[in-house]
Structure 1
Amino acid sequence: MNKSKTLPKRSDVPAEYKWRLEDIYPSDSDWEKDVQKAKQLADQIAGMKGKLGQSGEELLAALKLQDELLATLDQVYVYARMRRDEDNANSTYQGLTDRATSLSTQAYGAISYIQPEILAISTEVMEKWIQEVSGLDHYRILLEEIMRFKPHTLSSEEEALLANMSELASSPSKIYGMLANADMKFPMITDENGEEVELTKGRYTQFMESKDRRVRKEAFDALYETYGKFRNTIAASLTSAIKGDVFYARTRKYPSALYAALFADNVDLSVYDNLIATIHEHLPLMHRYIALRKKLLGVDELHMYDLYVPIVPEVDMKIPYDQAVSTIKEALHPLGEEYGRVLAEGFSNGWIDVYENEGKTSGAYSWGAYSTHPFVLMNYQDNVNNMFTLAHEMGHALHSYHSNHAQPYTYADYKIFVAEVASTLNEALLMHHLLETTTDKQERMYLINYYLEQFRGTVFRQTMFAEFEKIVHEKEEKGEPLTADSLSEIYRELNVAYHGPDMVVDSQVDMEWARIPHFYRNFYVYKYATGFSAATSLAKQILEEGQPAVDRYLDFLKGGSSDYPLNLLKNAGVDMTSPEPIREGLAVFKELLDEMEQLVTNS
């Protein structure tokens, strides 16, 4: 597509580079029909309130209606929102999105009674109904999952009280968000060109990648000095969030806040503990990478503000979209004919919105409704990073495609715990392909370092975050005080351990905990590290074993939520209750690090 200095209008983008949302609804009037259908279904299901405990037939009828309502609602919301994402200035689709959002609120209100009524049914009666009522067995997994929460569900009055506290419970996150995103102002710094520019959170990342060390240090100092001014306020907001996590866990009779967070995915505590323990075993590899970074930067001391500047000069790898598509197809060839056929369909059949246009939502995502193929939003630029992003999002898309085609609506959606596996596996296979085919030494070093940085940021760094969360929650559960000083001390000790003797852990970074919004979504970040490790292990199996590993992987993609995430992964060949997948992933990191050190030595 021809590039110009100004963004094209939506109408000027060629059709072959736009997704085809007509595959969801041929017209807005067809969308309107489903809006009315969803309203009727919501009214119908609301009229069944109080009846689910009367018979298995009533329960089955309600569950079928719920599936039909939610499937319709998904389609209505997805269409409206993706139309708006094409051009956020389009008032028509702003209106449709607002209506879809309101409809969702009404619909979820209409079905809110279903789970409490199911929980009021005894296990014995439920089993009897499942055996006697034709069709109810289809919902066995769903019902067993709901019933699994029964020991941690309170009386209706207590549940109502907790529900009314939800806004209060989210206050620490909201307060932090307002402070960090609205009220906190950063000072001016001098950029590479000697010009005064305002430091912002968005610009901070760019400054950390600056080749000018003075700029990096100045931005680093200014950022943390600003956070430091609010250290006690931010500590109060974070400790309040931690206290809330502990309160809800105890109220619902969970052994700990960590146990409560992992219970939803039916993940054993050993998975979390194995991740941290295995990363600690392999910290010498991280320390070697830090030493290599120090060597390549040619500095006497490596500081925390030197972590993001590229250590290999960026090579001129201009990759137009059509070339990226061709390369990704080749790279994913090991996944077999079935995967390749669907991938080719996605690239050529209206799944992807490729280029940026005026008003289009930024970034990238994969999304869709159950009854249609998935869609991918891109804002493609001709570079390596965007090619990897495209491979990543198509991994999500094909996961959804296979799951939707193999599972009924009830079990088609997969858990967040496994969501990043399919996307990251595609990136791993793409990297393998590029390293296998490149003949340019500088290009090879660039690619290897790109992947090493993925490991550092996704496996080591996210595990360090996960360990910090575990420590601070355990301290709260023991009644030990959490203050700005204690949080900073814990965070510093982790940085020293993870980065090793070649890193000067600047005192400013002790405050980094204050700028991580994920800490307000407790025990979530570990999933990045486990997902990356699982994907790396599966990619290795696919490349070494061939078809048997491919067959297991395709079964995983088709699994949806028909089983728990750990079981789906285990059947695919990855047992996340064991440290082996983490070790296998880190073995790849070691191989790449060995080669990078050799290439540097021979330079």
Structure 2
Amino acid sequence: MAQIKREDVDKKYKWAVEDIYANDKLWEEDLNKLSQIAANPCKYKGELSKDSNNIYEALKESDETDYLLTRVYVYAFMKYYEDTQNSKYQEMSGKAQSVAIKMSEKYAFLEPEILSLDEESLREDIKKEPLSFYGPIIEDMLLTKEHSLSEKEEMLLAKAANISSVASETFSKFNNADIKFEKALDEKGEEHEVTNGQYGMLMESGDRTLRKNAFNSLYASYKANINTISSLFYGNVKQAVFFADVRKYNSSLERYLSASFIPTSVYTNLVNTVNNNLNLMHKYVELRKKALGVDELHFYDVYAPMVADYKWEVSYEEAKEMALKALEPLGEEYVNTVRTGYENGWVDVYENEGKRSGAFSWGCYGTHPYIFLNYTNTLNDVFTLIHETGHAMHTYYSNKTQSFAYSGYKIFVAEVASTVNESLLMQYLLKNCKDKDQKKYLLNHYFEQFKGTLYRQTMFAEFEMKAHEMVENGEVLSAKNLNDLYLGLNKKYFGDEMVMDDNIAYEWARIPHFYTPFYVYQYATGYSAAIAISLKILEGDNEVIEGYKNFLKSGSSLHPIETLKLAKVDMTKPEVVEDALKVFKDVLNQWENL
């Protein structure tokens, strides 16, 4: 869909933000209410040691405030993401962020004051009503006690959070609203608009001239701004390292993984296991080069379909039906909920002028989840739809089953439900494909899932790990050493058969997830877990199916590693990643046999 004004998009293709607030005035009333709450100190501050009931009441008050804050925050940013050029919603999102910081400051005393209490008495208190409700949360606090600071220090860090997000916010504004790209010419000399939203579709074009020109157009703009982007990324890494250091973690990696109680060995196991199986990625590159019939394989060739002249356009309406069919193994109730969501304002479908790039699922407790897309009628977009549907349904079941305090699942498991859905879609399409060319097209897409999710995200993870280590070792992140690092990883992951185009060195500069440190590895771990779960679901393993549904409902009532064990997956062992790579090997062999 061409870029149009937001107001010109048909309502049926927009998410129903009004289900959170019917209008901006109601939002402003809650914002003002939060501002008043933030202005007054919590009456339980300094009183927690006097009565265990005070601990319960303080945590309950914090939850109730956070519930309201989440609604205010999500609504403002969802409106902002609809059109990042709209100054009204830029201002509203800024106000929401400011009040969030103030609320964080107000309740900064809670954890340090709880941890200052006698641990033996506290453990006895959390066995009794009503404080037992918050028992698991307090137990988690005790597990991180060595990284907690004094009340004054916690207050300073809460205030510093306002500054620490500047690099991320600036990059987001630059990447979504400011950066512009030259139009790309195809082999007939016709012009094509290049945007972050359209880029993926252009890279899948059968017109190699268009792919090359779009590739060069995109990276020319990042190259022209590379010093600024390098400075932003360096600033973001520095703030991550700073917070890890003051909280007495051994590294920023350890700090970010500890939020989900994940040992760093899970991260390093992933990187090492994938590095030990790069021969499969190199084989994929060789097969792609042969299938495309090119003398040299360039990075603008790695998304082009490996089946010559095969086109598979899927309208949004067709995509919804395809997704619903693929999800049938999860049961009638699951499918009916998805269908209802698709027809009742869960999804924001098409790109419009100023709309944030990419796709995600979001929402707030008390309303249905939301799905954000930039749909362009490709098979990739079908997978994106069903991927984000997985996130949405994970949120739906967690919110429906758990109280607000335990509804938010950890990032580590966030990519599992989404990728289980993708795997179910792939198996459904392979089972129902019509001919050899269509099967090859699907196998090609399967390659892309493994390449893009398991290998590429692990490469991103290795880039992040090394960049953070450089800063921890006192090195400066310049444009040159970041480009050199990224180019070197591409050489290692893609192998000798891939031409190292100079522009690929700038690819790191367009990845927004790098501003949420150590997030991307979870795509790879989640993909590996999802492959294991989805194959068991398709085999009709009722124990795994029921365990998986319990996983979706569990929220944060268990630690992520334990939550996944409900679905019979143990991520502390490298075998999960190794088994996923065996599936990749099988897909490569299927292609060769065809």
TM-score range, shorter chain: 0.7 to 0.9
Equivalent in 555, 568, 584 of residue 573 of structure 1: 568
> Against the structure 1 CA distance between its residues 374 and 179, is the aligned structure 2 distance closer, same or farther, given a 3 Å change threshold?
closer
* Counterpart-to-counterpart distance in 1, 2:45 and 2:26: 30
Equivalent in 244, 264, 270 of residue 269 of structure 1: 264
1:76 offset after TM fit, Å?
Answer: 4.9
1:286 offset after TM fit, Å?
Answer: 0.8
What are the residue-to-residue correspondences of 1:304-343 with 2, within 5 Å? Answer: 304-313=299-308, 315-343=310-338
Equivalent in 49, 52, 55 of residue 56 of structure 1: 52
Residue deviations 1:234-256, cap 9 Å, x none? 55554554444334323322122
Equivalent in 391, 404, 409 of residue 409 of structure 1: 404
> Against the structure 1 CA distance between its residues 107 and 492, is the aligned structure 2 distance closer, same or farther, given a 3 Å change threshold?
closer
In the superposition, the TM-score normalised over structure 2's length comes to 0.84
* Counterpart-to-counterpart distance in 2, 1:39 and 1:206: 44
**2:346 is matched with which residue?**
352
* Counterpart-to-counterpart distance in 2, 1:85 and 1:200: 16
Contact 1:45 1:65 in 2 (8 A): no
> Against the structure 1 CA distance between its residues 13 and 130, is the aligned structure 2 distance closer, same or farther, given a 3 Å change threshold?
closer
> Against the structure 1 CA distance between its residues 410 and 498, is the aligned structure 2 distance closer, same or farther, given a 3 Å change threshold?
same
Contact 2:185 2:209 in 1 (8 A): no
Contact 1:7 1:356 in 2 (8 A): no
1:123 offset after TM fit, Å?
Answer: 2.0
**Bigger radius of gyration, 1 or 2?**
1
Contact 1:336 1:547 in 2 (8 A): no
Residue 73 (str. 1) matches residue 69 (str. 2): yes
**2:455 is matched with which residue?**
460
| Identity over aligned pairs, percent | 44
1:390 offset after TM fit, Å?
Answer: 2.8
Gaps of 5+ in 2: none
1:406 offset after TM fit, Å?
Answer: 1.7
What are the residue-to-residue correspondences of 1:543-582 with 2, within 5 Å? Answer: 543-582=538-577
The amino acid that maps onto 1:521 is T
* Counterpart-to-counterpart distance in 2, 1:467 and 1:563: 28
Secondary structure of the corresponding residue to residue 266 of structure 1: coil
Contact 2:401 2:553 in 1 (8 A): yes
**2:593 is matched with which residue?**
598
The amino acid that maps onto 2:47 is K
What are the residue-to-residue correspondences of 1:323-402 with 2, within 5 Å? Answer: 323-347=318-342, 350-353=344-347, 356=350, 364-377=359-372, 383-402=378-397
Moved more, 566-575 or 248-257: 248-257
Residue 259 (str. 1) matches residue 254 (str. 2): yes
* Counterpart-to-counterpart distance in 2, 1:93 and 1:229: 29
1:337 offset after TM fit, Å?
Answer: 4.0
- What RMSD in Å do the two structures reach over aligned CA positions? 4.1
* Counterpart-to-counterpart distance in 1, 2:273 and 2:368: 39
> Against the structure 1 CA distance between its residues 517 and 325, is the aligned structure 2 distance closer, same or farther, given a 3 Å change threshold?
closer
Gaps of 5+ in 1: none
* Counterpart-to-counterpart distance in 1, 2:104 and 2:342: 35
* Counterpart-to-counterpart distance in 2, 1:533 and 1:86: 32
Residue 528 (str. 1) matches residue 526 (str. 2): no
**2:429 is matched with which residue?**
434
> Against the structure 1 CA distance between its residues 217 and 68, is the aligned structure 2 distance closer, same or farther, given a 3 Å change threshold?
closer
What are the residue-to-residue correspondences of 1:489-528 with 2, within 5 Å? Answer: 489-528=484-523
Residue 125 (str. 1) matches residue 125 (str. 2): no
Residue 471 (str. 1) matches residue 446 (str. 2): no
* Counterpart-to-counterpart distance in 2, 1:22 and 1:517: 28
Contact 2:109 2:154 in 1 (8 A): no
In the superposition, the TM-score normalised over structure 1's length comes to 0.83
Contact 1:129 1:136 in 2 (8 A): yes
Secondary structure of the corresponding residue to residue 302 of structure 1: coil
1:575 offset after TM fit, Å?
Answer: 1.1
What are the residue-to-residue correspondences of 1:95-114 with 2, within 5 Å? Answer: 104=100, 107-114=103-110
1:193 offset after TM fit, Å?
Answer: 3.8
> Against the structure 1 CA distance between its residues 182 and 554, is the aligned structure 2 distance closer, same or farther, given a 3 Å change threshold?
closer
